[in-house]
Structure 1
Amino acid sequence: MSLNFLQTLSTDIGQLLQDSDECNIIIEVGEDPNIKAFYAHSIILRARSPYFRRALSHEWTKIEDGRRKFRKPNIKPEVFELILKFIYSGDINLDGQDVSRILELLVATDELLLSELSDHVQDYILHCQSEWLKQNVVSLWTKIHHYDACAKLKNHCLRLICRKPQFLFASEDFLSMPESLLLPFLRIDGLRMEEIEIWDHVLRWGLAQHPEIRDKDMSKWSADEYDGLERTLKNCLPLIDFAHVSSNDFYSKVWPFQGMLPKTLLEDIVRHHLKTNSPPQPVKLASRLQFDSALIRTSHVALLASWIDRLGDKRYLYDEVPYRFQLLLRGTRDGFSSSAFHELFGNRGNVEDATLSRVSLSRSYYAIRWNGRDYGPCFGDKDLWMRNKFNEELSCSCRRDDYMESITDCTTFSVEEYEVFRVVKKTSLT
């Protein structure tokens, strides 16, 4: 017969905190004028905390009146009292605690290597302080970003910003963020914001670091002022996917700052915008967007996967997508002819694993099909048909029939680019 009396054991050991006679260590925490001495048992501290196992060595403590003495000025007494109770009894109650106190507790658990308590505090913030978290995500990120033990909260902050970038860019703290805190957000896969908007915000942040030119006519900037802004933005600019900025926006908003872009990056961008009909060289711009497509972004991949799994209003993030999208055909690489399309699929009459990728995507989708060698992919009865050489004038047509909405307002058109992907379920090996 096996019995478990852990609750009784926890209560009994917790009562040792009330008896200072048997304590062999004094821990002074806090800074003037808020300093408090706590009496404790080194054997319990060592058993419960890897930090104290090392800190209570002879090198880190001194003996006064027969007891070891240890100073911890960077933790407030109110926080250490919660920690000490947890160490002795395993009990912690965060209800009624101010959020700032809870964050101080979280930081202290990281230093004291109390992983179990750290996980609990993070779960409490995620589930019981969710509204506060949304309103203070930037200040929270500022406080916890360099603490390894805060992985749960850090990942939540990144995911929250990914879904709602305005929590970052509209925050009062955004313009004062140091670069080291901003870059992780710019690297997020599937950030739900247009690239030109990201450029606008990054430029706004950069100018905020140089108030002397923020409201100054750019034509009157000195060379030193221009160079200063360039140095400030040099690590941010490669994280913006300028290939997904329209030519108009690129010319009006980005081109005035062309001198700040690395030469190779600028050449890639200009080639992308000026040589749309030539076979492209690989353009690897934003490191957060490493996905092989000239048309769609990681956010579109996540959206397509969400439609495939019929998630409704809920959507995957890019790193949650359970599929791999394998590029099979690209018009500028493999040709725009219907024969190239047929050769890819071995002249089969139906392709269940192919998706036509477009920047503007309809919420409905139908099986892809075609009616003969002269036809490429066709969706619906008349909704999207591609014939002969798809990049030639009048080779494609679009008339709403099966779809709820028309795919495009143009009834006839040609395409500058199209891509076909195979959608494959991910396995543990892929």
Structure 2
Amino acid sequence: MATKFYERLSNDLTQLLENPIDYNVTIEVGEEPDKQIFKAHSYILQSRNSYFQKKLNEISFNENHIKVLKMSNISIKIFNIIIKYIYGGIISSEKLENSFIFDLLITSNELNLDELVEHLQTHFVNNNASWLKLNFSRVYQTSYQVKNFNIIQDYCNNIIAKYPNTIFESENFQTLPEYALISIIKKDDLQLEESKIWQYVIQWGKAQNPTLPVNLKEWTSDNFLTLKTTLKQCLLHIRFFSISSEDIFEMIFPYQQILEPELWLDINKKIMAPNKPISSAVLPPRKISNVTLPTRTTPISLFSNIITDEHTLEISSWIDRQESNYTENNPYEFKLLVRGSRDGFDVKTIYEICDKVSNTVIVLKVKDTGEILGGYNPCKLDKNKNKWIYSQGSFAFSLKTTNLKNSILSRVKNFNKAIANYPQDLLLYFGKTLCLRNNLKTDKKCHCLQTEFSYDKLIRFEELVDNCLEVKNRFNVEEYEVFEVSKKR
């Protein structure tokens, strides 16, 4: 029986990384001016990882007999963990934030670290499933944009099977890749009526062909052929013989041209003469649970049109002045009070509905730029009196979006002029850092000022900030919402 001394081997190789005697590879990670150079050994890198094996074979030694590899698109913190894993076979994730671990998972996959990819996926599913649920849309899309995420894919598909509207009613549904849609509709335990599945598949097919006429009466044979070609693989997984005759007539009959003639004949034969044999394959009906599951129409539990659960965790962390953001188990409840598209876009509406309400968060999506700006006011608004509100706890912010890598937090520093409560002038200001005026959707008078700061940071890029001399950077909002924030019981 062989005795294995893996721990000592791991420690020795880790020490070799920290004191790289006879190194012959340098890896430049990150971008100027913050890049960091790691010294390594080609034999270890090539024997442990196929990515480095290929890369190092493509690079020649320089005059110092060193191979130089540049990896500017990887974060230094993530690479530091990966290189230690390659040398010592050790990784510790206890003190890492879940969002960072997810980025680590993506990078590990890009570097063909299959063992680490499998481990991190299992870690999420077994230990951090709540984070996956909070960030479901991002996780699900990513799992199908990259290879080897089978464990997370299966986890997501199981959630979708129980709560189909999580994906079918999401804004990302129409952009799903075909294989992702097929992986969902082929599931026997998908908790959705077959006629509904048919409607969603048709909706997805039309979205892939935006030039198709809106009115079905205007469709030509070529239009139906286009849709048939798009949905060819999806239609194989529709349980047509589990659909009621009424739904066949109302939902499938208008699209009969996208079905094979033999299948359409068998569907009708099954309705008119159910005991007659048919030649088409009959898929088993879905295994619909008799247990009523709670409704989940979207992974965003507060039904916001603007922010995600990840955003609310970040805002809650700022309220509690946490050094790092909450990643799960939000201690606060966000109760929707006002929504522009529902209640109106006048600042007066905010004062009317939020009068005498404290601890409110307002978020707004800027038209054209997609920025998400907002502010937190721990004090009560007053719809009857113009005044400045004193506050030590208010702050303004800009939330992370696809165009903004990190959120920006701006805390009040002039407590006496924290909130401009001016209902008679239709103004609601967070100092001069975020200024809301009149009708937020049509009047284009909202702005962020460069001067007279009562908060400590700009929350927009400097070129988008109003300098008081011109109004080119004033903006309208596409949507806004106000939430009352309270501690969960």
Structure 2 counterpart of 1:284, one-letter code: A
Identity of aligned residues (%): 32
Partner of 1:114: 113
Over 3 Å counting, the alpha-carbon distance change for 1:123 and 1:231 in structure 2 is same
C-alpha separation between the residues in 1 aligned to 2:97 and 2:26? Answer: 27
Give the conservation status (yes or no) of the 8 Å contact 1:85–1:92. yes
Partner of 2:287: 299
Partner of 2:52: 52
Over 3 Å counting, the alpha-carbon distance change for 1:41 and 1:228 in structure 2 is same
Partner of 2:244: 246
C-alpha separation between the residues in 2 aligned to 1:34 and 1:227? Answer: 55
Give the conservation status (yes or no) of the 8 Å contact 2:24–2:39. yes
C-alpha separation between the residues in 2 aligned to 1:78 and 1:194? Answer: 47
C-alpha separation between the residues in 2 aligned to 1:212 and 1:113? Answer: 40
Give the conservation status (yes or no) of the 8 Å contact 2:121–2:151. yes
Partner of 2:271: 273
Give the conservation status (yes or no) of the 8 Å contact 1:34–1:76. no
Aligned length: 293
Partner of 2:281: 284
3-state secondary structure, aligned to 1:28: strand
Partner of 1:39: 39
The Cα of 1:28 is off from its aligned counterpart by 3.1
Partner of 1:18: 18
Partner of 2:474: none
Greater alpha carbon shift after TM alignment, 16-25 vs 205-214: 205-214
- Provide runs of 4+ in structure 1 moved above 6 Å: 1-4, 31-34
Over 3 Å counting, the alpha-carbon distance change for 1:99 and 1:222 in structure 2 is farther
* Structure with more helix by fraction: 1
Over 3 Å counting, the alpha-carbon distance change for 1:109 and 1:230 in structure 2 is same
Structure 2 counterpart of 1:13, one-letter code: L
Over 3 Å counting, the alpha-carbon distance change for 1:187 and 1:39 in structure 2 is same
Partner of 1:150: 149
Structure 2 counterpart of 1:202, one-letter code: V
Structure 1 counterpart of 2:242, one-letter code: H
Over 3 Å counting, the alpha-carbon distance change for 1:33 and 1:237 in structure 2 is farther
C-alpha separation between the residues in 2 aligned to 1:193 and 1:158? Answer: 14
C-alpha separation between the residues in 2 aligned to 1:189 and 1:35? Answer: 50
The Cα of 1:255 is off from its aligned counterpart by 0.8
Give the conservation status (yes or no) of the 8 Å contact 2:30–2:36. yes
The Cα of 1:74 is off from its aligned counterpart by 5.4
The Cα of 1:68 is off from its aligned counterpart by 1.2
Deviations 1:323-377 (A, max 9, x none): xxxxxxxxxxxxxxxxxxxxxxxxxxxxxxxxxxxxxxxxxxxxxxxxxxxxxxx
- Structure ID, larger Rg: 1
Computed over aligned residues only, the root mean square deviation of the Cα atoms, in angstroms, reads: 3.4
3-state secondary structure, aligned to 2:287: helix
Partner of 2:413: none
Over 3 Å counting, the alpha-carbon distance change for 1:210 and 1:90 in structure 2 is same
Partner of 1:28: 28
C-alpha separation between the residues in 2 aligned to 1:149 and 1:298? Answer: 28
Give the conservation status (yes or no) of the 8 Å contact 2:206–2:227. yes
Give the conservation status (yes or no) of the 8 Å contact 1:139–1:173. no
Over 3 Å counting, the alpha-carbon distance change for 1:234 and 1:241 in structure 2 is same
C-alpha separation between the residues in 1 aligned to 2:278 and 2:211? Answer: 40
Structure 1 counterpart of 2:267, one-letter code: I
C-alpha separation between the residues in 2 aligned to 1:83 and 1:91? Answer: 9
Deviations 1:169-199 (A, max 9, x none): 1222112212232122122233221110101
Structure 2 residue runs of 5 or longer lacking an equivalent are 294-489
Aligned counterparts, 1:52-131, within 5 A? 52-57=52-57, 59-72=58-71, 75-131=74-130
C-alpha separation between the residues in 1 aligned to 2:185 and 2:61? Answer: 48
Give TM-score scaled by structure 1 length: 0.59
**Residues 1:176 and 2:175 aligned together:** yes
The Cα of 1:200 is off from its aligned counterpart by 1.5
Deviations 1:26-84 (A, max 9, x none): 12345678754322122322333244344433x44443532112344554433222210
C-alpha separation between the residues in 2 aligned to 1:88 and 1:167? Answer: 41
C-alpha separation between the residues in 2 aligned to 1:23 and 1:88? Answer: 13
Structure 1 counterpart of 2:126, one-letter code: H
C-alpha separation between the residues in 2 aligned to 1:6 and 1:60? Answer: 32
Over 3 Å counting, the alpha-carbon distance change for 1:181 and 1:155 in structure 2 is same
Structure 2 counterpart of 1:45, one-letter code: L
Over 3 Å counting, the alpha-carbon distance change for 1:36 and 1:264 in structure 2 is farther
3-state secondary structure, aligned to 1:145: helix
C-alpha separation between the residues in 2 aligned to 1:132 and 1:211? Answer: 35
**Residues 1:220 and 2:208 aligned together:** no
Deviations 1:225-277 (A, max 9, x none): 4444333323222221111110001101111111111222212212222222x
C-alpha separation between the residues in 2 aligned to 1:174 and 1:122? Answer: 24
